[in-house]
Every structure is written in C-alpha cells, then in structure tokens.
Amino acid sequence: MSDQEYNQFYENYKKQFPDDFYSTHTWSEDPCPAKLLQLIGREDLIRKVEIVYGSESMASIRTEEELSAKFYNLNQRTRVSMKIDGWNVQVNYYNGFPVSANSRGRTGNNKETSAILSVVPKSIPIMGKVKFVGESSIPNEKWEGFKELTGNKDQRASMSTVFANGMENMCNFSAFNIITEDEQYEDKYKVLKELGFDVPKHMYVNNYTQLLRAIDIMSKAKGKYHLLTDGLVIENESTQIAVRLVAWKESDYLSYVTGYEQNHTPYGISMVLLVKPIKIEGKEVSKVNITNISQIVQNNLRPGHPVAFVVRSSANPVINVSRSEQLYLEYQYNLDKYKEMVDNKSL
C-alpha cells in the first residue's frame, strides 16, 4: 500500500471507528500482526518490537483545512522546524562522553551506527546517562560525490551504505531531543545548540497568522537548505505534528509505461518501471520504483498504460497505484489520446 492510499484509508477508518485502538495512535505503534503472519505462513517476519521514547512516527497534516482546524486558535509559543528526511538515530553519552549509537528507534532489530560518533560533540558537561535523538543524513552538498563514488540513487536510503562502511565524512547528525535521567529542559533546541549539536532550522510563533508566515518562509528556504526534508514539525507543550503543505505538498506526476528494468540486490530482484521521461524541477524522471512483478501484473501496468507517481526526498519516484488505476479506467478505450496528452504535456 502506498503512502497516499494509506493516508486515504486511515482518514476514513478514523471517521468510521473513532474510538478504535488503531485510530488513537500513529502506525509505528501498531503491534506486530503475529496471527495474520501465522495465517499466511510468514512466521519468519514476526518480531517483538518495542518503540523507544522519542522516535515514534507522528501524525501529519496534509490539507489547509486540517491546519486551520488544528491551529486557528493557537495562542502559545510554538516551534516550527524542518523535518529532516533521514534515519532516526539515538546517540548515547555516559558521564560526558559518547559511547554508542543505534538507528531505527526500535529495540531488538536496530542497527549499529557508530559512524555518527565522529560527527557529534566529543564531550558534554552533563554526567550520567544522556540520550540524544535526531536524524542522520547525507548533506546535499555531498550527495553528488557520494552518488558517483557508490552508484547509489536514493539519498536517504544511502545512509545504510554510510553506516555499513563507516563513512563518517559523509554523514550529518541533526538532533531534536535530549533525554536525561532526571532533568527536563524547557527549550531543548537551545540546550542542544549550546552543547554543540546541529539542530533543524526552526522558527518560533505564537498565533495562527505567525504560523502561516513561518510555513511560507520555511517553504521558500527548503531548496537552499543543506539537508533533505520531508515536511515541517509543529511542536508545543500540547502537540507535536508534521505538516506537509506548500513546498512539501505531494502532487501526482503523470506519464505512461514504456518498459521494465530489473535491479539485482543482495535481497533479490527488484523491479523498476520505465516511463515516458518527464521534467520535474529541472530533472528528467524516466524510472519509477515498484516492488515486484506481481504488483505490475495486478495493477495492469503494461507498456502504453497510464502511471501516476509522486517524487519524495527530491529523488525517489514512488507509484500512486490508486491514481494510476483511475487514469486507466478513464482512458482505457483511448490510450493513444492519453499518450498524446503526456507527450504534449497537456494533462
């Protein structure tokens, strides 16, 4: 299920079952569906997952109406910050020195990320156990060189290569939370900066008018920011929520299938749809990621058929299955007309 399909489904689910267990938390807190996996013979996928504090996924605002309903009466100091599109990493300090770092925010299946220890402060003036939560990512100015060096195509996913090969010169750690044994901080970003950590670009607002202004300013700054972002985070004493509007609002791009390509990976063969190239923000997009052959067959993605997709992380085209199906139903008896409109960019 694509993000777009999940968001549509989840909003309808919450309206229909507002008091249900799954309607009252984000997807990252859903328990492992052990019974379902047993039913289909995939016991190998069963995991005991525990979410570590500070790394759970957050809900998102995706429409202006949702934003207004949530914040129109805002009257308290609120931080608006860039939502870094990277890997969640937690760096652990003990008696002032960094001792370990792990990713994923889940116990039992997290990954060693010791490369991050080379880019965080060498020491801090706080004793005892201290945890710093943030996002690790490859800075935009280093991505082209990294891509040439490794052949990788996905900037966010390439953090796996960075960690596996200890490429600390290629990574950045942007902290947004500090957790100590007994002390609470009113302005965590201020404390993090004083300790020497990089923090996401941010602004403070006190009402809805200022919030709209901040969203506009941050949106205009997105293209010049040194890290990938996938939205904004609005946070105060009573709420923490992501916003994907203006520069981060997902739009469907329309093309048609021209063929297929196989990618051989350590985990098997993945499929890529070849599509009629289209220009997006000055870059030509001619390939769309798709999971496997069965998804191609099930969704009737034959050469010449319509395909809709979104582009995430500035570089990663992902198919919108439901929109692609709608396009096919609309143009199935006049595919040549659809292709002509794509070729002429009149859609």
The pTM is what?
0.69
Q: Which residue has the tokens 């490369």?
A: 115
Amino acid in position 34: A
From the list 36, 59, 48, 163, the residue with the least C-alpha distance to 106 is 48
Domains in the chain, start-ordered, CATH in brackets? 1-47 (no CATH), 79-248 (3.30.470.30), 253-343 (2.40.50.140)
Q: pLDDT tens digits, residue range 318-335?
A: 788 888 999 999 999 999
What are residue 249's phi and psi, to 5 degrees?
Answer: -70, 125
With H, G, I as helix, E, B as strand and everything else as coil, classify residue 4.
Answer: helix
Q: pLDDT tens digits, residue range 86-129?
A: 999 999 999 999 999 887 644 444 456 778 899 999 999 999 99
83-87, 172-176, 251-255: range with highest mean pLDDT: 172-176
With H, G, I as helix, E, B as strand and everything else as coil, classify residue 238.
Answer: coil
Q: pLDDT tens digits, residue range 223-255?
A: 999 999 989 999 999 999 999 999 988 778 999
